Amino acid sequence: MVQDAAAPPLAEGRPTRPYVLPPLPPGHYYVEPPDPREAGSGGTFVLEDADPFDHYHYRVKALVHSSRTPFQTVVIADTYNFGRALFLDGAIQSSEEDEALYHEMLAQPALLMHPAPRDVLVIGGGEGATLREVLAHRSVQRAVMIDIDREVVELCRELLPGWHCGAFVDPRASLHFEDGRGFLENTPDVFDIIIVDVVDMLENGPAQRLYTRQFYDLARRRLRPGGVLVVQGLEFSFADYKAHAALARTLRTAFSEVHSYKTCVPSFLGSWGFLIASDTVSPHDFSADALDRAILARLGPNWLDHLTGAFLLASFCHCKETQFYLNMPGPIIEDDVAFVEPPDIEEEEPAGAQLPALSED
């Protein structure tokens, strides 16, 4: 059956703005966002079901691509809230709206805190945006990217041009399709920075081999003196810290300086962690001003969308409860040993639970 009746065109259109739009700075312009009433009822959604309990449905304007590679299912969709987005095995990887935040946070702290990164290795990072952030640094002479899934990389190259911005054709870049662990075991090369940007180690799947003590030992041996390893550090907040904290403990078996930072990535629906590991680099050695100067000198005033010195240092600052969990001992992640999360830690109701917090004596 199909409509015959004279349905009205969309209600009365958008409400009129009862004010004059202020002028914008040079190089900026106004764009109307999608109108929920135009989207209509029903609709198409991409389901994120990576959480064991909760579900999130991203409403999409268009499903751009959907397939299964030898390694994973791939969905690329134009969402209403976050623009174009990439989903692997049902988990969002990055979105047009906030990929710049994610990729700047992943790549730039290590690059900016290293005195002069020259050789950089990216493991994973199929969208090409991590590579883009690396190649933004003129000091980088060679950027090697290793991703196991050729189909995903080719899809990203074609369908996510705003992510890689031409990084794949930069003469300093080389791209190999193989297992990142195998590459590290066989390469004679050493690097100033290694960035691990792979999918979460869900359910002890094969990605776990890129999260173990043995892997980090190997990575350390492929770093030059002064080299820095950075790892995408999974969801990370006081409400969801166990895998991140285990990663931090595991990295500490191989590196003397291991620091957790995080930021809220809107399309990830929460706070995302990162880990920077080395024997030399500590964020506490940097002031916001020093970082701002490094940004200006190395990247200029316009490259970064999000990072500033102060914002970056603030991202290393965690709340009391988060810091408590990070400091707790616990299991580390080993090859061939299933990672089983420890139980939750609860606290007996502290004395201060009476009002006021400090009673008068």
What is the helix (H) or strand (E) element at residue 217, kind and residue range? helix 213-221
Copy the structure tokens of residue 330. 């616990």
Q: At what angle do helices 288-299 and 99-113 cross, to 10 degrees?
A: 100
Nearest alpha carbon to residue 278 among 197, 224, 327, 335: 224
The residue among 188 and 297 lying less far from a second copy, judged by its C-beta, is: 297
**Nearest distance from C-beta of residue 284 to a second copy, angstroms:** 11
Closest listed residue to residue 199, CA positions, set 96, 318, 86: 86
Q: Is 11 in the site for a second copy (CB under 8 A)?
A: no
Stretch that binds a second copy, among 185-193, 220-228, 276-284, 340-348 (CB under 8 A): 340-348
Q: How many CB atoms lie within 10 A of CB 269?
A: 15
Contact between 188 and a second copy (CB under 8 A)?
no
Active site residue 197: yes
Nearest residue (CB) to a second copy, 115 versus 270: 270
- Which residue of 13, 47, 161, 256 would you call a contact of a second copy, by CB under 8 A? 47
Instruction: Using the rule CB under 8 A, give the single segment among 47-55, 186-194, 221-229, 252-260 that binds a second copy.
Output: 47-55
Under a CB-based contact definition with an 8 Å cutoff, are residues 129 and 328 in contact?
Answer: no
CA-angle at 274, arms to 269 and 279, nearest 5°: 175
d(CA 122, CA 120): 7
Which CB, 3 or 186, lies closer to a second copy? 3
Cis peptide bond N-terminal to 356, omega within 30: yes
Q: Which of residues 273-292 bind a second copy (CB under 8 A)?
A: none
Q: Pick out residues in 141-180 that bind a second copy (CB under 8 A).
A: 146-149, 152-153, 156, 165-167, 170, 179-180
**Can residue 50 be called a binding residue for a second copy (CB under 8 A)?**
yes
Q: Which range in 15-23, 216-224, 252-260, 276-284 contacts a second copy by CB under 8 A? A: 15-23
